Amino acid sequence: MTVLRPFHLMSRTRDLLPLLLNLPAVILLLAFIAYPIGISFWMSLHRYNLRRPDQVYFHGLENYATILASSEFWNALWISLYFTFMAVLLVIVIAMAIALLLHESFRGRGVVRALLLIPWAIPGVVNGLMWVGLLGDYGAFNAMLEDSVAAVNYLFGINIVYTGMASPFVALNAAIGAHVWRSVPFACIIFLAAIQAIPTEQYRAARVDGATSWNRFRFITLPWLYHAVLVVAIFETMNGFRAFDLIYALTGGGPGDATHVIAWQTYKEAFARLDFGGANAYSYLITLITMTLAIIYIRLLYRRGLVQG
Amino acid sequence: MWRRASLYIYALAAVIYLTLPFAWVAAVSFMPEREVTQQRWWPEEPTIGNYSLYFDVEGQSADVGAAIARQFPRAIINSLIIGSAVMLLNLTCGSLAAYALARLPFRGNLLLLLFYLGSRSVPGVAIMIPMYLLMRSYGLLDTHLSVILSHTTFTLPFTIWILKGYFQTVPLDLERAARVDGCTPLGALVRVFLPVTTPGLVAVGIFAFIASWGEFLFALLFTTTIASRPVTVLASDFAQELQVPFTVIAAGGVLVILLPLVLSFLFQRLIIQGIGGSVTG
Amino acid sequence: MARVRLNNLTKHFGDVVAVDDVSLDIADREFLTLLGPSGCGKTTLLNMIAGLESPTAGEVWFDDRNVTAVPPERRDIAMVFQTYALYPHMHVFDNVAFGLKMRGVPAEDRKKLVQAAAKTMEIEHLLDRKPRALSGGQRQRVALARAIVRNPGVFLLDEPLSNLDAQLRVVMRTELKRLHGELEMTFVYVTHDQAESLILSDRIVVMKEGTIQQIGTPESIYDSPANTFVAGFVGSPPINLLKGVLEQTGGGDWRVVGEGFSCGMATSMVERMGQSAGREVSLGVRAEDIGVGEVQSTANSDSETASETGGQSGTQVRSVGRAEVVVREPMGSDLFLTVDVGGSNVKVRTRPENRMDRGDNVELYFDPGKIHLFDGESGEALLDIR
Ligand SMILES: Nc1ncnc2c1ncn2[C@@H]1O[C@H](COP(=O)(O)OP(=O)(O)OP(=O)(O)O)[C@@H](O)[C@H]1O
Ligand SMILES: [Mg+2]
């Protein structure tokens, strides 16, 4: 049919407009994310130490071999995995608890809601500095921790020596705590929105069916929140692996290598040892790890039919 | 009754959790130095002395760290410039892309969406070296622009994601009505769609601004002098000076936090609704 | 003022054929209704008339102008959306004035025109409110005001009453009819409510799965449905359809015989259809064209003979069979009985004084002039009865 033709043309040009609208964003991201990632890979295949600028040459996967053989890498990877796992878990639990609270109606809810964003508004570095103070020798939390350790020692007749941030265990978990504290509000916002989207009839029906409040949470709230939990898990996994500014300000990677998360390790490799080749190999490994995790999550979302194009 | 009471205890616990760390730091910032060593929760003799260092424009003070503290106002201006530019770039590039994704069915939209999601999952440390070299080769080191560009790229995917969700909640019939009322496609966008989506745009704008204000890694790498250093980097510089009393650091921290805190209070409702609704929506 | 012509309009969404080769000629100032079940392509067709959706094939003409490629802002139309689509960020006044403003009408004229439209729709007291502060009915009036204020040639309405409660719907229905009388516009009205379409329209277009099933006045659609789909969709309660076979008795009389019933047909009618015995048909008869009576005390066969003799006199109607009352539904002015005829349910409308109840056996009478016959397979009407 001849009448068909103009519309075919129109639909061609119609595809052009949305691409055009995406162009600025795509250019920016290509230039400052995709291109650097490519370069990063290329550099990771080179020997490239700023201390020896005359000795830049291609040496294949050697950087990767060196890294995979180094205990530093595996140490950093385990610390990051522990850090991320704990952070994701704690953020989900705490944010969920606060979101459920904010969903209840009580006098003063507005106040709690207004205070919710405080941790989020605080820059990571400043958050680190804050916790340095809180957990430092004169810090309020340090005092509380000291007192509680003393109490435990007394109660159980044991003798745990509390050394504050000098203890690797305390330092790593304190870093996790500080990271979680700052991450809770964002997750909470997402959970709150998801909870509010649950139709109230569902609860009424469950109540009529005689479900206890725990069962209502278990069989209505949680399934409805599945998507939100996954989204938060994605965000927090990525955030956990890239935690840098907090570590920079709070522990500086220490004590020893207790808080050498992988982002910190990469930073050290690049700007302390000036080994750009090795650092890029590091960063490439981080990218691969987070991408893999992201793909797993996204596939989970797809399986549930929750992401649409 | 029991339920009420336990609800309030629960709420109180949440409030304490959310505010206590910051409240203590804020309290410390008003303490004279010696009170901190007594592990106080509240300043006995409140002072604003810790803040005076930061507003010592004439450069009178010879206290430790005064040289850096004096740069604070300038650093705040840098942060403002960077944050505002990041916000504007996010809003323009982000809303264009999100509009196309939300409204115009086209081949390749899923691919783009995955591209944005993928960009978002690239960690900053992974691209810091090439970015650094890139900025150096363009002579952009120690300029606002280098920081603006890097901040924009890592906030933009999120902005697009959120705005796409937000735009999809606006009924298509509104724009159709505008077309029937005589608007061109662009007219419908400007006169109807944008005003209706203002809350969402404000929310992501503030979000991008606060994210940029708080970003540290790229700001640290790309800036070397006060010509471009934003306030987060300055704060960490300052804290690394030995001998600076924590009370003064705390005051600096409070100054850094002030603006994002005020913004988040002012736009609290919009942020919670705008961001939450469209992430899960 | 405009005549609207659609030539072979087709719209595909990927694999979905939303509108399939639709041709229509809508007269100037006509009130035309697009009627059909959900998803049959009514909105898509309306959107193509508006220019909001470009057809995959076919043309749209307004008077002597081919507007197929003309964008909506340059067609002389106004539209009321199912969701009203009031601009939430504007006051009611600005909502109504927006179209005028976009077309460059000066401010003073705008004001006058908005006032006039507000007066017509009785929303003068709402002009400085925001849409979210309005009730459903008020929003609907604002949406109508926004559409009529520009005095367009073609007025498109997409299920404008479907979001209103039943009472308000009746009020607004009357309002729309009044509006059409006052305004010199062509109305194209989309609905899935057959009662609405019967009351409002000059002509009805019944659609199903993107194709036109029948075009006609409300009377002709109701009285001579083109197929079982139209017969079943228009009219409430839906028409009763009974499967049967066309047979000729020894005396040369024609009748439709099915499970539990046997309905005589006028010979002339069957002859006009040119049908042969043994053909499978669907017999359609509306609830109001069925009568029920007490079962005669005589035996079944006797009663039939009696009716047949009565039938020859030309005034008395023969029973088509016996049925058992299953449900009794009093509706105020009418009483509806559902009766079981050989395993099929048949709805009957009778007078409320009728005392028949569940379990009673009744004699059924079909008004022979109001019977519809459809092909047993295709469902197409075998004959226009008048
Ligand atoms: N934008 C679209 N993309 C894909 N399919 C569509 C689109 N719009 C409509 N359709 C499909 O076209 C068909 C007709 O849709 P349309 O909205 O015209 O129906 P309708 O008669 O108005 O129904 P309703 O009474 O429910 O409003 C449906 O099957 C619908 O799913
Ligand atoms: Mg429709």
For chain A, the average pLDDT equals 83
> Are A19 and B106 an interchain contact pair (Cβ–Cβ within 8 Å)?
yes
More confident residue, A54 or C290: C290
Looking at residue A255, its pLDDT comes to 84
pLDDT 10s digits, A95-149: 999 999 998 888 888 888 889 999 999 998 899 888 888 888 777 788 888 888 8
The chain C residue lying nearest A3, using CA atoms, is C57
Q: Does A19 touch chain C (CB under 8 A)?
A: no
CB B132, CB B125: distance < 8 Å: no
Low-confidence stretches of chain C (pLDDT < 50) are: 299-315, 385-386
CATH of domain B71-280: 1.10.3720.10
More confident residue, C237 or A302: C237
Give, in order, the Cα–Cα distances in Å from A10 to each of A167, A256, B97, B186, C16: 68, 65, 21, 17, 19
pLDDT 10s digits, B124-157: 888 888 888 899 999 999 999 999 999 999 899 9
* Alpha-carbon C83 to chain mean position: 21
H-type helices in C188-293, by residue range? 194-200, 218-223, 228-233, 267-273
Report the distance separating Cα B2 and Cα B24, nearest Å: 31
- CB count within 10 Å of CB C323 equals 27
- Going by their DSSP bridges, the two strands C57-62 and C154-158 should be labelled as unpaired
Distance A169 CA to ligand 1 centre (A): 61
A7, A9, A11: best mutation site toward chain C, by most C Cβ within 10 Å?
A7
Report the distance separating Cα A152 and Cα A144, nearest Å: 12
Looking at residue A304, its pLDDT comes to 60
> Are C69 and A1 an interchain contact pair (Cβ–Cβ within 8 Å)?
no
- CB count within 10 Å of CB B16 equals 11
Closest CA of chain B from C103, distance in Å:
6
| Beta carbon of C11 within 6 Å of any ligand 1 atom | no
> Are C56 and A7 an interchain contact pair (Cβ–Cβ within 8 Å)?
yes
Hey, is C39 helix, strand or coil?
A: coil
Report the percentage of chain B scoring pLDDT > 90: 37
The H-or-E segment that residue C289 falls in is none
More confident residue, A198 or B9: B9
Please report where in the chains the tokens 């509706």 appear, as a residue: C331
Taking only residues 227 to 266 of chain C, the set having a beta carbon closer than 8 angstroms to any beta carbon of chain B reads: none
Which residues of chain A neighbour B101 with C-beta distances below 8 Å?
18, 22
Q: Does C103 touch chain B (CB under 8 A)?
A: yes
- The two structure tokens encoding residue C94: 């600005």
For residue B279, pLDDT beyond 80: no
Please report where in the chains the tokens 């449900």 appear, as a residue: C327
User: Please, what is the angle between helix A124-135 and helix B246-266, to 10°?
Assistant: 130
Chain A with chain C: Cβ pairs closer than 8 A: 12
Distance B247 CA to ligand 2 centre (A): 66
Report the distance separating Cα C79 and Cα C63, nearest Å: 19
Nearest residue (CA) to ligand 1, atom 25: C38
Which residues of chain B neighbour A37 with C-beta distances below 8 Å?
122, 126-127, 130
Looking at residue C83, its pLDDT comes to 86
- The two structure tokens encoding residue A69: 């053989």
Looking at residue C386, its pLDDT comes to 40
Report the distance separating Cα C380 and Cα C230, nearest Å: 10
Closest CA of chain A from C32, distance in Å:
26
Q: How many residues in chain A?
A: 309
pLDDT 10s digits, B39-96: 777 888 888 888 887 877 666 666 666 777 778 889 999 999 999 999 999 999 999 9
The chain B residue lying nearest A13, using CA atoms, is B106
Distance C41 CA to ligand 1 centre (A): 6
Looking at residue A217, its pLDDT comes to 82
ipTM for the predicted complex comes to 0.87
Among residues B138, B159, B128, the alpha carbon closest in space to that of B221 is found at: B128
Distance C16 CA to ligand 1 centre (A): 9
**Ligand nearest C35 Cα, by number?**
1
Report the distance separating Cα B112 and Cα B114, nearest Å: 5
Looking at residue C92, its pLDDT comes to 95
Among residues B81, B19, B119, B79, the alpha carbon closest in space to that of B214 is found at: B79
Q: Does A10 touch chain C (CB under 8 A)?
A: yes
* In chain B, where the domains are located: 2-68, 71-280
| Beta carbon of C140 within 6 Å of any ligand 1 atom | no
The count of C-alpha atoms lying within 13 angstroms of the C-alpha of C241, restricted to the half-sphere facing its C-beta, is 21
From the list C85, C103, C150, which residue is nearest B177 (CB)? C85
Closest CA of chain A from C55, distance in Å:
8
Q: Please identify, by atom number, the ligand 1 atom nearest to the C-alpha of residue C19.
A: 14
> Are B129 and A189 an interchain contact pair (Cβ–Cβ within 8 Å)?
no
Q: Exposed (0-12), middle (13-18) or buried (19+): which is B64, by Cβ within 10 Å?
A: middle
Report the distance separating Cα B183 and Cα C145, nearest Å: 18
Looking at residue C384, its pLDDT comes to 56
Q: Which of C15, C19, C40 to mutate to test the pocket of ligand 1 (most atoms within 8 A of CB)?
A: C40
More confident residue, B117 or C330: C330
pLDDT 10s digits, A87-100: 999 999 999 999 99
Report the distance separating Cα B245 and Cα B251, nearest Å: 10
Which residues of chain B neighbour A294 with C-beta distances below 8 Å?
117-118, 121
Q: Which residues pair with B165 in a beta bridge?
A: none
Q: Please identify, by atom number, the ligand 1 atom nearest to the C-alpha of residue C34.
A: 21
Q: Please list, residue by residue across C3-13, b when 16 or more beta carbons sit within 10 angstroms of its beta carbon and e when fewer do.
A: bbbbbebbbee
- Going by their DSSP bridges, the two strands C254-258 and C240-248 should be labelled as antiparallel
Secondary structure, 3-state, chain B: CHHHHHHHHHHHHHHHHHHHHHHHHHHHCCCCHHHHHCCCCCCCCCCCHHHHHHHCCCCCCCCCCHHHHCCHHHHHHHHHHHHHHHHHHHHHHHHHHHHHHHHCCCCCHHHHHHHHHHHHCCCHHHHHHHHHHHHHHCCCCCCHHHHHHHHHHHHHHHHHHHHHHHHHCCCHHHHHHHHHCCCCHHHHHHHHHHHHHHHHHHHHHHHHHHHHHHCCHHHHHHCCCCCCCCHHHHHHHHHHCCCCCHHHHHHHHHHHHHHHHHHHHHCHHHHHHHHHHHHHC
- The two structure tokens encoding residue C75: 């067609």
- DSSP per position, C4-30: EEEEEEEEEETTEEEEEEEEEEEPTT-
| Beta carbon of C38 within 6 Å of any ligand 1 atom | yes
- The two structure tokens encoding residue A201: 């009839």
> Are B126 and A112 an interchain contact pair (Cβ–Cβ within 8 Å)?
no
Residue range A72-303 forms a domain whose CATH class is: mainly alpha
| Beta carbon of C47 within 6 Å of any ligand 1 atom | no
Give, in order, the Cα–Cα distances in Å from B134 to each of A39, B81, B168, C212: 10, 22, 37, 64
> Are A4 and C57 an interchain contact pair (Cβ–Cβ within 8 Å)?
yes
Q: Mark residue C157 as left, alpha or beta (left: phi above 0; alpha: psi -120 to 50; beta: remaining).
A: beta
pLDDT 10s digits, A203-260: 788 878 877 888 888 888 888 888 888 889 888 988 898 888 889 888 887 787 888 8
For residue A14, pLDDT beyond 90: no
CB B117, CB A25: distance < 8 Å: no
CB B142, CB B228: distance < 8 Å: yes
Residue A63 — pLDDT band, cuts 50, 70, 90?
Answer: confident
Among residues B210, B250, B232, B186, the alpha carbon closest in space to that of B78 is found at: B232
* Alpha-carbon A112 to chain mean position: 24
Q: Which of C11, C17, C20, C44 to mutate to test the pocket of ligand 1 (most atoms within 8 A of CB)?
A: C44
